[in-house]
């Protein structure tokens, strides 16, 4: 019996040593992945961590997770120590403004959540807003009345509607470059085409007209003036020049 216990203890020690030196063999990413590639996320999550599975497991339980720009949080689940799955939760970004050489990203209620020199291609830039005070964690202060309600309405429309170009359907948010505010109202810039929506009045209806008209203007240059929109017109016409 004593010999058996010694052999058993020896096997446990050997297994413990082997397990200690075994590396993580599988690391997968789950969840939203709009801002980084899977390889980039994997590198950022494991930065400063051991490649040895057992140590990596202990570090996850007793050390703070790495701070990753544009990522709200992530959780790790382990299957047999060596198989790791990262569940990633991104920050909800509605747009960004340019400030000197940085981009300030804000969420759905206008709170600044990130400052970075990196320009995310799938987050619309907002230009023309007047602001002289920007603090991460606080709402962006601007003189434009209802600016964030307007941004929210336009952004949601762009992200949920597509137009047909040739044989393919393309989301408006993939074509839009920025939303611009001026004395004439709000505009959406699509490369060489600018759509002037004007004031917030009848904004949803103007956006629908924009969606219907853009395919006819594809490949041209100019400004589509929808600021003259009047509800109820039987045969409306709009200037494009």
Q: What does the pLDDT look like over 185-203, one tens digit per residue?
A: 899 999 999 999 999 899 9
Q: What is the mean pLDDT of residues 204-216?
A: 93
Q: What is the mean pLDDT of residues 115-128?
A: 88
User: 22-90, what's its fold?
Assistant: Ubiquitin-like (UB roll) (3.10.20)
Residue 19: is its pLDDT beyond 70? Answer: no
How far is CA 71 from each of CA 38, 112, 217, rounded to the nearest angstrom?
13, 14, 38
**What is the structure's pLDDT at 36?**
87
Alpha carbons 95 and 53: distance in angstroms, whole number: 39
Cβ count within 10 A of residue 35: 21
Q: What is the mean pLDDT of residues 80-105?
A: 87
Q: Where are the alpha helices (DSSP H) in the chain?
A: 2-21, 38-46, 53-62, 147-160, 172-175, 203-217
Q: What is the mean pLDDT of residues 87-116?
A: 88
Residue 75: is its pLDDT beyond 50? Answer: yes
The domain locations on the chain are 22-90, 119-240
Q: What is the mean pLDDT of residues 97-121?
A: 87
**What is the structure's pLDDT at 222?**
94
User: Confidence band (pLDDT; 50, 70, 90) for 233?
Assistant: confident
Residue 84: is its pLDDT beyond 50? Answer: yes
Looking at mean pLDDT, say which of 54-58, 131-135, 220-224, 226-230 comes out highest: 220-224
Q: What is the mean pLDDT of residues 45-67?
A: 87
**What is the structure's pLDDT at 8?**
46
Alpha carbons 166 and 189: distance in angstroms, whole number: 21
Q: What is the mean pLDDT of residues 202-229?
A: 92
């Amino acid at each position: 019996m004593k010999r058996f216990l010694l052999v058993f203890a020896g096997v446990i020690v050997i297994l413990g040593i082997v397990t200690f030196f075994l590396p993580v063999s599988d690391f997968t990413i789950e969840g939203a992945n709009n801002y980084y590639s899977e390889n980039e996320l994997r590198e950022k999550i494991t930065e400063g961590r051991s490649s040895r599975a057992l140590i990596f497991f202990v570090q996850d339980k007793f050390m703070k997770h790495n701070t990753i720009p544009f990522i709200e949080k992530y959780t790790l689940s382990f299957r047999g120590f060596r198989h790791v799955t990262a569940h990633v939760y991104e920050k909800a970004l509605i747009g960004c403004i340019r400030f000197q050489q940085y981009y300030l990203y804000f969420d759905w209620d206008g709170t600044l959540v990130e400052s970075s020199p990196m320009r995310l291609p799938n987050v619309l830039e907002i230009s023309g807003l007047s602001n002289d005070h920007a603090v991460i964690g606080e709402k962006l202060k601007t003189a434009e009345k209802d600016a964030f309600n307007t941004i929210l309405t336009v952004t949601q429309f762009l992200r949920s509607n597509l137009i047909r170009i040739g044989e393919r359907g393309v989301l408006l948010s993939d074509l839009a470059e920025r939303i611009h505010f001026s004395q004439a109202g709000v505009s959406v810039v699509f490369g060489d085409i600018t759509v002037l929506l004007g004031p917030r009045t009848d904004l949803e209806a103007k956006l629908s007209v924009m969606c219907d008209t853009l395919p006819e203007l594809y490949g041209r240059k100019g400004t589509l003036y929808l600021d003259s929109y009047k509800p109820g017109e039987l045969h409306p016409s709009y200037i494009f020049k």
